[in-house]
Amino acid sequence: MTNLMDRLRAMGEIPLVKMSAERIRRQWVDYSFLGAFFLLILVAASMSDVFFSGQNISNLLRQIVTNGLISLGMLVVILTGGIDLSVGSVVAFSAIVVSGMINKHLPLPIAIVIALSVGVLAGAFNGFMISRFKLQPFIVTLATVGTIRGLVYVYSETPITPLDQSFRTIFSTAIFGPFTLSILIMLAAFLVALFFINRTTAGRAIVAIGGNEEAVRLAGINVRRHIILAYIISGLCAALAGVLLASRLGIAQPSLGAGFELDAIAACVIGGATLGGGGGGGVLGTFGGVLTLGLINNLLNLFNVQSYYQQILKGVIILFAVLARRSNR
């Protein structure tokens, strides 16, 4: 059976890839970001004696778990040409739901499944509204930000502390070296996403939709179903991030997750993703973006820099990354 790319090429919609000046410039941008990443490591190592200590490396890895999972889901959505601004609210909702379910003495696996279902339902709603009614992803997910955040406060106006001690330790227990279960879950998610996007028909369809949605539709691919799938993946990743974050913090607050979408978008753009679709970016690039932001946050924390300066820096990074990618289009 002819695969997706062959069918699209047969229609003349996707020409054979040729090395062009545009691609060469794009590669140099990628190399520049890669060089900046290694330069950041050298600067961090030279400015802080504890940067390469086992405890700091472990802290760094644990801190990037949340953004890593959210960024992974965000990448899938961006590949379709969309965006998901509701991920921060989903993180808060899943965190407070799993904590509340645990305190109601539900078995831990059931509580986690219920919390993950919150993300799946939120993603399915976003994907359905976008694909069925042809609404702008920015508008739909912006609307669901307030809706989901309101549901969080309806569920609980006060922070919830999960009373099950096993929930608060299972994901933070070291498996080997600095790697905890939460870190291994994040790494496994990236490996699964790498296989899904590059080796499955659904993954390739999601990438193709961002390049030319009409061509994919004419090729006989169910565009609506794949857009919904992309947003479900984003919601699921955000919900999983919320569960792991509640476990790490030992408390779930209704205000949790504010601004997390900014970090996720920054990681994707640094990794080469093009806002609006059209190719560019990938799982490995996004992981590099997550590590870069994690290194920046870690270094600033080591020098006790206020958090609002970190937000300013992230905004500048996003603007610079978008401009760098834009100049090569």
Q: How far are the Cα atoms of 13, 47, 60, 83, 278 from residue 275, in angstroms, in the given order?
A: 21, 34, 27, 8, 8
Residue 189 contacts residue 69 (beta carbons within 8 Å): yes
Torsion angle defined by CA atoms of residues 254, 257, 258 and 261, in that order, rounded to the nearest 10 degrees: -150
First to last CA, the chain: 34
Residue 6's pLDDT is 60
Tokens of 209: 């939709």
Q: CA 69 to CA 240: how far, in whole Å?
A: 7
Measure the CA–CA gap between 69 and 170, rounded to whole angstroms. Answer: 18
| Residuewise pLDDT in 10s, the chain (329 residues) | 445 556 545 544 444 444 466 677 677 777 888 888 888 888 888 888 888 888 888 889 999 999 999 999 999 999 999 999 999 999 999 999 999 999 999 999 999 999 999 999 999 999 999 999 999 999 999 999 999 999 999 999 999 999 999 998 999 888 888 899 999 999 999 999 999 999 999 999 999 999 899 999 999 999 999 999 999 999 999 999 999 999 999 999 999 999 899 899 989 988 888 888 766 778 999 999 999 899 888 888 888 888 788 778 878 877 887 787 765 44
pLDDT (0 to 100) of residue 7: 55
* Burial (CB count within 10 angstroms: exposed 0-12, middle 13-18, buried 19+), residue 135: middle
Contacts for 194-203 with beta carbons within 8 Å, 24 or more apart? Answer: 194/282, 194/283, 194/284, 197/76, 197/79, 197/282, 197/283, 198/282, 198/283, 201/3, 201/4, 202/226, 202/229
What does the DSSP 8-state code read for residue 157? S
Q: How many CB atoms lie within 10 A of CB 107?
A: 11
281: left (phi over 0), alpha (psi -120 to 50) or beta: left
User: Which tokens is 235 given?
Assistant: 């919601």
Both structure tokens of 123: 């993603």
Q: What's the length of the chain?
A: 329
DSSP secondary structure code for residue 252 in this structure: B
Give Cβ neighbours of residue 132 (< 8 Å, ≥ 6 apart).
224
Q: Alpha-carbon dihedral of residues 275, 280, 285, 287, nearest 10 degrees? A: 40
How much is the pLDDT for 21? 66
- The DSSP line for 22-76 is HHHHHHHHHHHHHHHHHHHHHHHHHH-TTTTSHHHHHHHHHHHHHHHHHHHHHHH
